[in-house]
Amino acid sequence: MRRIVAPLVLLILVGNLIVVSLMLDSLDEQLLQKEQYSLQRQINQQAARLENELRRFAQSALFLVQTPPMQGLGRARANGGFDPMEQSDEQAWKRRLEQIYLSMLSANKKLIQVRLIMPNGQEYIRVDRYGPDGSLRVVADAQLQDKSSRDYVTRGLSLAAGQVAVSGIDYNREFGELAYPLEPVIRATTPVVSPDGSLFMLVVLNRAMQEDLQIIRDIGGSEQSYTLTNAQGDYLVHPDASKEFAFEEGRRANILDELPAAAGLLNGAAIDFVGEVTGDDGNSRVVAMRAVHYNPDDANARLLITGESSHEQATAIRRNLLGTVYLVVGIVGLLSSLIAFAVAWRIASPIVRMRDTVVRRGLNTRDDELPLDVEGEVGELAQAFSQFLGELRNRQSRLEHEILQRKVALAHLEVKNDQLEFANKESEQFVYIASHDLQEPVRTVKSFVQLLSSEYGEKLDDNGRQILDFLDKSTTRMSELIKGLLDYSRLGRKGDLAPVDIQQLMDLICQDLTTRIAEQGAVVEYTGLPTVLGYATELRALLQNLLTNALKFSRPGVPPVVRVSAQQQGREWLFEISDNGIGIAEEHFEKIFLIFQRLHGRDGYEGSGIGLAHCKKIIEMHGGKIWLQSTPGKGTTFFFTLRDQGELPKNNDSGLDDE
């Protein structure tokens, strides 16, 4: 019942959760889009307001340049202090300008200072709000300052007529030091040109930005925060007041450290940005940014307004819905559990009874113990199970009979195996004894032949000496044949399978055959040969036999060329040893691997005719195959396979020991 109820209830709950999750994800997306729109609308409004305010501020500077008193002052200074056009002197025009500046400050509460600065940086006129109790005043000539070191003066001197340079927002300074109380200001500088076209004054306006910055601070609430930075990314407005104007105090508080995406807006590559940003703390934020260009004459005159809200704040409504969603899912889970339990009880009860009966009775279960009379799929299952038990009993009977037959066959096989093992041992003993005992009379005959040759050789005629020479050669051949037979029987009797470096083995063989290779002018080529699994001694005999044959059966007058190569084929290595010798006819391909078989007379080529038989036996005891391809008069290629060094068998017995 648990196996029915649990998956069913789990399926219902998972289905509900998936649907709810999809709905919540859709809700999240809509909430995030709404939050982005809200942030973007706020910063667009503030950007438009700042741009309009600061453009009007820049236009105020241009207005002062065009006033009649300013024009009259220019004519007076150009004519030694007297204006011939208006019959007025320089001081009169100066006083009229001071009155105009006082009127401007009185009409515009955000203007805090209006100055005329001479090209050498010395203030000529200064009207500000720093009188007693913040009253308007005209600064006396003795208190006027030298502003030649200030960047806005240097920048103003480079402007053409009709241009305005609006500086960044920073704290007001007096005599090069911060003026207290701290007051953020922005400056507009424009040149005044005399009638002869030369620059004779700079008009500089200071505007207080405290009120504008406070507006941006006020729009940020508990759910959203807004910041304002200068063109370098330094904070002018920030929810954390310690980060505002930190650059004025030599500290760093820069938006690029928190929002690298702002770089594109600060360098002019983009004008706005809206999206989600993941901070270094792993938290996601909804961010909207917009660049404020407030001076058309200066592309770097740029502020950056940023609004942001945390992902959690933007999706707060979703969290409020979760409680209700969990309650609904819980109710659905409870109802589905009750329904599933009722269904499972009807289905599982007869199945459980059938299971208990089968566990208790096994194959001896009777049909009357199964719920065959139950309707529906459970009854059909019981009937099918009854048939299955009957078939299983029949198969068990047949299996027991087969097991008995296999035990009898295994006993016969073990007897045959013991007989075969005994026969192998007798065969080995016979070969060894026969080879050993045959050597003794052969050595005796050879000794007497040598004795006769040394004692009576001079007394014998040519026919006698020829007979002795024939006897000596025959006994030598007989000794070699017996030795070859003994070596053949001993192959694979000692040693364990181990990795063998064929490249290194070929180096040793070529060193042993150095004299013969040099005498024949032979070339032996081999590179990149692998490491295989085998018996080092037998593999050396294999390669030496094949290489010696290639050198032996060379064409007269043609230096032997022998090439040894290998390529991997699955878990084996296929070796090729090719030569340019006399070749072998196809009808002799199988014959040459038989023991004591020769294709040439003994006078033409030395040897006992057992070398290739050795090669075949060595390859077979390694579990490989050997064959050849040859063209008479052109050369022969021997092929054989060996296991890769990684294919170590479960035991180290050679194939020969199992024969």
- Of 85-89, 110-114, 212-216, 419-423, which range is least confident? 419-423
Rounded to whole angstroms, how far apart are CA atoms 557 and 582?
Answer: 12
CA dihedral (24, 30, 36, 42) positive or negative: negative
Residue 185, pLDDT > 50, answer: yes
CA dihedral (55, 56, 62, 64) positive or negative: negative
Residue 102, pLDDT > 90, answer: yes
Choice between 190 and 452, residue whose per-residue pLDDT is larger: 190
- Of 77-91, 287-301, 483-497, which range is least confident? 483-497
Q: Which tokens sit at 347?
A: 């289905």
Report helix, strand or coil for 92: helix
Residue 490, pLDDT > 60, answer: no
> In the chain, count of helices (H) and strands (E)?
15, 23
Rounded to whole angstroms, how far apart are CA atoms 96 and 101?
Answer: 9
pLDDT band at 503 (very low <50, low <70, confident <90, very high): very high
Report the candidate in 229, 234, 224 with the shortest Cα–Cα distance to residue 213: 229
Q: Counting Cβ atoms within 10 Å, is residue 391 exposed (0-12), middle (13-18) or buried (19+)?
A: exposed
> How many residues are present in the chain?
659
pLDDT given at position 498 = 86
Residue 87, pLDDT > 80, answer: yes
Number of Cβ within 10 Å of residue 165's Cβ equals 23
DSSP element (H, E) containing 272: strand 272-278
pLDDT given at position 657 = 39
DSSP element (H, E) containing 613: helix 611-621
pLDDT given at position 601 = 45
pLDDT given at position 541 = 86
pLDDT given at position 652 = 43
> What are the tens digits of pLDDT across the range 396-455?
888 888 898 998 888 888 888 878 777 766 666 666 666 666 666 777 777 777 777 777
Report the candidate in 488, 457, 458 with the shortest Cα–Cα distance to residue 471: 457
Number of Cβ within 10 Å of residue 563's Cβ equals 17
Residue 18, pLDDT > 90, answer: no
CA dihedral (351, 357, 358, 359) positive or negative: positive
pLDDT given at position 517 = 92
Which residues, other chains included, contact 475 with Cβ-Cβ below 8 Å and sequence gap of 6+? Answer: 442, 445, 446, 449
611, HSE (Cβ side, Cα atoms, 13 Å)? 18
Report the candidate in 379, 317, 308, 388 with the shortest Cα–Cα distance to residue 347: 379
Q: 284 - beta bridge partners?
A: 278
Give residue 197's region: left, alpha or beta (phi > 0; psi -120 to 50). Answer: left
pLDDT given at position 659 = 31
> What are the tens digits of pLDDT across the range 131-140?
888 899 999 9
Give residue 254's region: left, alpha or beta (phi > 0; psi -120 to 50). Answer: beta
pLDDT band at 221 (very low <50, low <70, confident <90, very high): low
Rounded to whole angstroms, how far apart are CA atoms 113 and 136?
Answer: 9
> What are the tens digits of pLDDT across the range 307-365?
888 766 555 555 556 667 667 767 877 777 777 677 667 666 777 777 777 777 776 77
Residue with tokens 């006819």: 585
- Of 11-15, 287-291, 433-437, 552-556, which range is least confident? 433-437
pLDDT band at 3 (very low <50, low <70, confident <90, very high): low
Contact 550, 536 (CB under 8 A): no
Rounded to whole angstroms, how far apart are CA atoms 487 and 484?
Answer: 5
Report the candidate in 223, 282, 288 with the shortest Cα–Cα distance to residue 44: 288
pLDDT given at position 561 = 94
Choice between 599 and 496, residue whose per-residue pLDDT is larger: 496
First CA to last CA distance, the chain: 61
Q: Which tokens sit at 328?
A: 């609904």
Mean pLDDT of 203-229: 86
Average pLDDT, the chain: 81
Q: Residue 45 is which amino acid? A: Q
568, HSE (Cβ side, Cα atoms, 13 Å)? 11
pLDDT given at position 650 = 44
Residue with tokens 């050795």: 614
DSSP state of 84: T
Of the chain, the percentage scoring pLDDT greater than 90 comes to 24
Rounded to whole angstroms, how far apart are CA atoms 226 and 235?
Answer: 11
Locate all alpha helices (DSSP H) within 125-270, ordered by sequence.
151-157, 210-219, 255-258, 263-266
Residue 99, pLDDT > 90, answer: yes
Q: Per-residue DSSP letters for 131-166?
A: SGGG--EE--GGG--B-TTSHHHHHHHTPPTT--EE
User: What predicted TM-score, i.e. pTM, was given to this entire model?
Assistant: 0.47
Rounded to whole angstroms, how far apart are CA atoms 251 and 238?
Answer: 15
Rounded to whole angstroms, how far apart are CA atoms 124 and 113?
Answer: 13
Of the chain, the percentage scoring pLDDT greater than 70 comes to 81
Residue 563, pLDDT > 90, answer: yes
Contact 317, 31 (CB under 8 A): yes
Give whichever of 188-202, 299-313, 446-460 has the largest mean pLDDT.
188-202
pLDDT given at position 546 = 92
Residue 501, pLDDT > 50, answer: yes
> What are the tens digits of pLDDT across the range 575-616?
999 999 988 888 878 778 775 455 444 444 454 556 788 888
Rounded to whole angstroms, how far apart are CA atoms 196 and 79?
Answer: 11
Residue 303, pLDDT > 80, answer: yes
pLDDT band at 369 (very low <50, low <70, confident <90, very high): confident
Residue 48, pLDDT > 80, answer: yes
Report helix, strand or coil for 189: strand
Strands 561-569 and 523-526: parallel
Q: How far, CA to CA in Å, does 143 sit from each of 126, 136, 196, 199, 242?
A: 9, 15, 31, 24, 34
pLDDT given at position 639 = 96
Residue 458, pLDDT > 90, answer: no
Rounded to whole angstroms, how far apart are CA atoms 53 and 51?
Answer: 6
Contact 358, 351 (CB under 8 A): no
Residue 215, φ and ψ in degrees, nearest 5: -60, -40
DSSP state of 204: E
Number of Cβ within 10 Å of residue 158's Cβ equals 10
Number of Cβ within 10 Å of residue 137's Cβ equals 16
Q: Which tokens sit at 417?
A: 């195996």
- Of 43-52, 255-264, 289-298, which range is least confident? 289-298
- Of 91-100, 354-363, 569-578, which range is least confident? 354-363
> What are the tens digits of pLDDT across the range 222-266?
678 889 999 889 998 988 888 888 888 888 999 988 888 888 888
- Of 65-79, 387-401, 532-546, which range is least confident? 387-401
DSSP state of 644: B
Strands 173-174 and 177-178: antiparallel
DSSP element (H, E) containing 442: helix 377-456
Q: Which tokens sit at 623?
A: 């579990």
Rounded to whole angstroms, how far apart are CA atoms 419 and 70?
Answer: 134
pLDDT given at position 653 = 42
DSSP state of 184: E
